Every structure is written in structure tokens, then in C-alpha cells.
Amino acid sequence: MRWDTLEDEQCSLARTVAVIGDRWSLLVLRECFLRVRRFEEFQSRLSITRHLLADRLKKFVKFGVLRKVKYQDRPARYEYILTQRGLDLYPIVMSIVHWGDTHMVDERGRPLLHQHKNCGNFFDPVMICSECGEPLSAKQVHTHPGPGAPQSPAASEA
Amino acid sequence: MRWDTLEDEQCSLARTVAVIGDRWSLLVLRECFLRVRRFEEFQSRLSITRHLLADRLKKFVKFGVLRKVKYQDRPARYEYILTQRGLDLYPIVMSIVHWGDTHMVDERGRPLLHQHKNCGNFFDPVMICSECGEPLSAKQVHTHPGPGAPQSPAASEA
DNA sequence: ATTGACAGTTCTTTTTTAGAACGATATCGT
DNA sequence: ACGATATCGTTCTAAAAAAGAACTGTCAAT
């Protein structure tokens, strides 16, 4: 599949996948949320090839997930900082981490614990319905074509 | 990056990414949540090559995300059904869709609307803290090494 | 003058994917 | 009986992407 075919699809999942849907993008993103900002630091922490790292960073900037901020002149050096759009990816990252914590840990347990500054507790992320506040599960959701739907696909459950 | 190096990493994100972290895996998963179950139906809806589809389905079965259920004998035919472990991927899929709905829609609006059977309303998914119930954002979370942490990485914010 | 940090780019080899065709098995229509 | 169709893959070759290592350019520090 070529990179650029996905973002034109009439599906929000496909369009997001065009931005973050590959191994390295998600790992780079993880580092961003761990406050990593510079080329060399990404590279040494991830052992990603420099070519791919340059590529992913460029893509994130293009899609407005990261922005380049100059931190010195002569030579001009930039840091890659999460934009609001990038910060909004946090639920994706957290839900991925949480699934791994639940289903892929070995006998030693979780590699990372998360503490909520608000309440001070260690927590898990929970996804709820914005309207009634109940936890969401796939079986309790109906989907309907929206205004941006292709032609008129039948409504289905998911 | 080779497929099999990721799942051994000491990071829940990396291990989950080993399972779902590529374009086709996520698109196949989307179809699963839309009740698609058979090889031919995946293939014709996604225009994925048959080779890759066979590959991804096999991987999902290996990781316990899908299970093969025989729906006829002679010839033996199987459907691919989400397991509980697969259903647990729903928050990941929903958060990906929601980011796309928020940041990648065109002027026509969302392609799909989601209705919660519980309350009957159209909703957005919201990620909250399991302990205090407040919505989560990256800046309000501290991370600490857990029991399964590699050596002893410094605690950091994210 | 030499070394090192930083942010990439260029090059060749290896791996993965695309795209099309083929196989196996069984049912259906005539 | 016979060919067409359905289903679930596998095999093949060409094209695309990634790996891995080396290289470039700029400047600072010693």
C-alpha cells in the first residue's frame, strides 16, 4: 500500500492511520510523550535508521502533529514539539499502552505505571460515552452514516 | 524493522504495536468491528492483497485477537471472530476514529456517527482516569517504572 | 588543527508488499 | 455428467520500502 492513498479515504480511521499507522510512527510518538525532542535522542533511544526518523518527523510536521522550534542559531538546530493536535493523540497512545498492560505483560508485570496528578492515584485509562458517562464496549455501539459518508452505506453495528 | 523484534521489548506500547501497529492490521480490525468475518469479504472490501490478508489474519489468530470458527464442513470454511482480547481493542480503534473525526475531516463532516445503545445518544469517546473519573490529558500524568521495567529507567512525565 | 555534537543525506543490500495467476475443494445449474 | 461459481488460500515475479553503514556540512570546544 502506498503511503498517500490512505489519507484520501472517506474513513476517519484510515485517515488517522495515514498519519500514525505504522510501527515507527507510534514508537516516535511514544518518545514524544516521554519528552524526547531532538533528532539524536530519538535516534539513539529507538535505534531507528536515520533515514526513517527524518521521514517520520517530516511527516508529523506536515500533518501538524509536531512543530519544529529553533533552540539555537549557528548552526540552526530545531526541537520537535507536540502541537495540540499531537497532544490530542494521547488517548490513542494510552489505549495502546493499556491493552499491552492487560494482554501482553510477562510474569514480571507492567513496565510502566501511570499516576494522575489530579488525584494522585495510579490509574488505568477508561473510555466512556461523552453523553451518559458509561464505559464503552463495542457491542453497545451502533454506527450510522454521517454527513461525510461515501454514497450511502448501510448503517451497521460496531 | 523486523516483525518479531518488537514483541519482545519491555514496553507495553511496543508489544501492542507488534500486534496491531501497521496500516493493514488496523484496517482489518476496523472491518472486524463492522462485523466482517470472512476472507473474501475482507479482501473485496479492503482491496488488500490476498497474501497480506492471509498473513494478518494468521497473526491475529496467533495473538488471540481473532479465532477461527468453522461455519461449514465440506469444504471446511472458517469465519474470523473477535475474541474478548480482540474486543478489548475497541478503545484503540475508537480513539483513532475520534482523532480522525476531530482533525482529519473535510468540509462535509464525519463519515460515521456513533450511537450508544445504553443512552440512545450520539456520542464521542472520552478517556478518563479510572480513579477520579476526570478526563485525561498528557500533561497531567506522571509515569513511574513498574515491576516489569527494564533495569531502572528514571521516572519521567507523560 | 583536531575533535566532537548535531541534523540530516546518500548509497547498496535485504526485506516486504503489490499484483496477478494458480490450486484445491465442494456446490449448483442444466 | 459438465462447466460455472464460491471460498480460502498459495505461488510467482516486479516494485517499493526499510536496514545498515558511511558521508556531508556547520559550528563549538580544546
> Which pLDDT band holds residue B74 (cuts at 50, 70, 90)?
confident
Q: Dump pLDDT digits (tens) for B46-68.
A: 989 999 999 999 999 999 999 99
Q: Tell me which chain A residues have a C-beta less than 8 angstroms from the C-beta of B59.
A: none
- Asked if pLDDT for residue A152 goes beyond 80, the answer is no
Element housing B61 (H / E): helix B50-62
Nearest-angstrom CA–CA distance, B141 and A117: 6
Residue in chain B nearest A121 by alpha carbon: B131
Mean of pLDDT values over B76-82: 93
On whether the CB atoms of residues B114 and B123 are closer than 8 A, the answer is yes
| Domain count for chain A | 2
A1 and A43 in a single domain? The answer is yes
The CATH number of whichever domain residue A18 belongs to comes to 1.10.10.10
Chain A CB contacts of B147 below 8 Å: 108-110
Q: What is the pLDDT averaged over residues B81-99?
A: 98
Share of residues in chain A with pLDDT > 70 (%): 92
Angle ∠(B39,B6,A103) on CA atoms, nearest 5: 70
Shared domain check, A74 and A113: no
CB–CB contacts below 8 A, A to B = 314
Closest partner CB to B117 (pick from A118, A130, A140): A140
Q: Is residue A112 a contact partner of residue B144, using CB atoms and an 8 Å limit?
A: yes
A4 interfacial to chain B (CB closer than 8 Å) = no
Domain boundary among B34, B55, B87: B87
Q: How far apart are CA B129 and CA B135, in angstroms?
A: 6
Q: How far is B76 from chain A (nearest CA, A)?
A: 28
Give the tens place of pLDDT for each residue, A82-133: 999 999 999 999 999 999 999 999 999 999 999 999 999 999 999 999 999 9
* Chain B span 37-76 residues with beta carbon within 7 Å of strand D: 38-41, 50-51, 54, 57, 75
Say how far apart CA A58 and CA B141 lie, in whole Å: 27
Residue A6 contacts residue A22 (beta carbons within 8 Å): no
Query: Do residues B117 and B131 both lie within one domain?
Result: yes
Q: What is the largest CA-CA distance in chain A?
A: 59
- Give yes or no: residues A100 and A72 share one domain: no
- DSSP states of B13-42 as a string? HHHHHHHH-BHHHHHHHHHHHTT--SHHHH
Does B87 contact chain A (CB < 8 Å)? yes
Grid cell digits, residue A25:
510512527
Residues B137 and B82 reside in one and the same domain: no
Alpha helix (H) residue ranges in A36-142: 39-46, 50-62, 84-87, 90-103
Name the residue facing A111 among B12, B142, B157 (closest C-beta): B12
> B126 and B71, same structural domain?
no
**Residue A153 pLDDT more than 50?**
no
**For chain A, first and last CA: distance in Å?**
26
**Host domain of residue B3:** 1-87
A10 versus A5: which is more confidently predicted?
A10
Residues B16 and B37 in one domain: yes
Q: Please say which residue of A55, A88, A121 terminates a domain.
A: A88
Residue B3 pLDDT > 80: no
